[in-house]
Structure 1
Amino acid sequence: MNVKNVLITGANRGIGLAMVRHLLECSTPPTTLVATCRDPAKADDLQKLAESHKNLKIVKLELKNFSDYPKLVETVKSYTGSEGLNLLINNGGTCEKKPGQLFGMPLEELDVEVFRDVLDVNTTAPLYLVKAFLPLLKKAAENNKSKPVGISRAGVVNVSSILGTMGGFTGNPDIYGYRASKAALNMVTKALAEDYKKDDIFFVAIHPGWVQTDLGSEAGYLTSAESVNHMFATLPTLTVEHSGTLVSYDGSAMEW
């Protein structure tokens, strides 16, 4: 991966942390890598990485606190200057869970606030982060006219899931909030790609596979590192024709 300025949400554990590690260790690491999490003081793994990687900046962000987004943009701008933001990875996510169950919750037990919370984190936050960072994404696209449309120029990667697809419907049906939020995220990705095609900003939704994380559980068939290795091998190969689509971690096209 050869991407200059990157921001990753939900970067203190799981897929997000694995993304940070991968980018820091690659042959051409980002000039600036902003990793957000709810409580940086408790993000021990991130803090250890920051001690030896000066390009890693850890920033506090509660995804549901939308009023904090302008401050986040100003913080990122202080790191990137006039270069803009080349890549925004909306990775942070949540899922409704019944105690003792992998994930999901019967409708009879699904509280409206839990449902709203999942949609706020998984769908509303990615959309409004794009809105907040549009000026920096446009700046990066303008500054890198010589590069093709894609993640190295100016792009947004929305971490989605096969559980949000209609054509690939699989598994237990009682994951209402998570399924709905990822289906909505897929549509948001498509709409954004069409809306900002004129600005040469790239958008893609990606299914990371079933990953062994707190959300995905130990039953997953991929470790976080394996999933991220596949995704970061796939993302640089995507072109303008892939903008507004849903792809799997291995690069294969997925049904909506």
Structure 2
Amino acid sequence: MKTILITGASRGIGLEFVRQLARRKPTPAFVFASCRSPDGAKDLQAVAATHTNVKVLELDVQNESTYGPAVETVSNLVGEAGLNVLLNNAGIYSTESCETVGRDLLTNIFDINVIGPMRLTQAFLPLLRRGALHSRVESFGMDRGAVINISTGFGSIAANQSGGHAGYRESKAALNMFSKNLSLELKADKILVLSQCPGWVSTSMGGPTATRTPESSVSDMLQLFSMLSEEHTGCFLANHIPLKFNQF
């Protein structure tokens, strides 16, 4: 991939994607790292200070007034080459039960985990189509064009055997449907769309007892992304090599 935009890049998995992509070979021309408050994102700013291809953007998935300026900044930098990859990583979590979860929390979860990625993807689709059109790669893959939605096994209806995490599970199931739907609509453009589970990762969301570090999770996902082809568009993948399909 030559250009990629990552949401929720100030910490956790998003920040680790920026770190690893910044030093990846071949080096992407631009890694657009977006977050709500760039001035307070000290770790992200430190990466950008030592890697000129990392561009920090102010972008709040819940505030659509930030979309236009972000699109304009990206467009001015990438020019006719467009954007190759949009990685919708920003999200929030819930441990509530179906009995206790409240309306305000449900609204917030769906706004960030579903509506945000959908609306942001709409905003960047012209740049993604431009990137695919001007790519020398004619087959599905990250080097042509892709929308990657970070999902979770908690969003699988078939695999749910415990209940709980109300709102979070439902939002990620909806995100998976968005991935499937968008994959069909963008098939003619040969833009790959995927729901990707990162595994249980030791971040502020995953907690300290998680089985994977951000470093190992992101390293494996980047390796996995390099293997993607047309057969994977619209799918829900585990963070597992060799490639392993999750159940919706």
Specify the TM-score bucket, using the shorter chain as the normaliser.
over 0.9
- Structure 2 counterpart of 1:91, one-letter code: N
| Correspondence 1:1-256 to 2 at 5 A | 3-96=1-94, 104-171=95-162, 173-250=163-240, 251-256=243-248
- Structure 1 counterpart of 2:245, one-letter code: A
Question: Which digits, 9 at most, give the CA deviation of each residue in 1:8-46, with x for residues without a partner?
Answer: 000011100110111012121210110011111111111
State the shift of 1:168 in Å: 1.6
State the shift of 1:114 in Å: 0.8
Q: Secondary structure at the match of 2:201?
A: coil
TM-score (norm 2): 0.96
Is this contact kept in 2: 1:123–1:184, CA < 8 A? yes
- Structure 2 counterpart of 1:226, one-letter code: S
State the shift of 1:146 in Å: 3.2
Structure 2, unmatched stretches of 5+, are: none
Is this contact kept in 2: 1:163–1:170, CA < 8 A? no
State the shift of 1:170 in Å: 4.3
Distance 1:111 1:159 in 2: 24
- Structure 2 counterpart of 1:36, one-letter code: S
State the shift of 1:145 in Å: 4.3
- Structure 2 counterpart of 1:255, one-letter code: Q
Distance 2:137 2:196 in 1: 26
Distance 1:215 1:41 in 2: 22
Would you say how many aligned residue pairs link Structure 1 and Structure 2? 246
- Structure 2 counterpart of 1:238, one-letter code: L
Q: Secondary structure at the match of 1:19?
A: helix
State the shift of 1:150 in Å: 1.1
Distance 2:106 2:132 in 1: 36
Question: Which digits, 9 at most, give the CA deviation of each residue in 1:28-78, with x for residues without a partner?
Answer: 121011001111111111111111111111011111012321221111111
Structure 1, unmatched stretches of 5+, are: 97-103
Is this contact kept in 1: 2:5–2:87, CA < 8 A? yes
**What percentage of residue pairs aligned between the two structures are identical?**
37
Is this contact kept in 2: 1:164–1:179, CA < 8 A? yes
- Structure 2 counterpart of 1:127, one-letter code: M
Q: Secondary structure at the match of 1:11?
A: coil
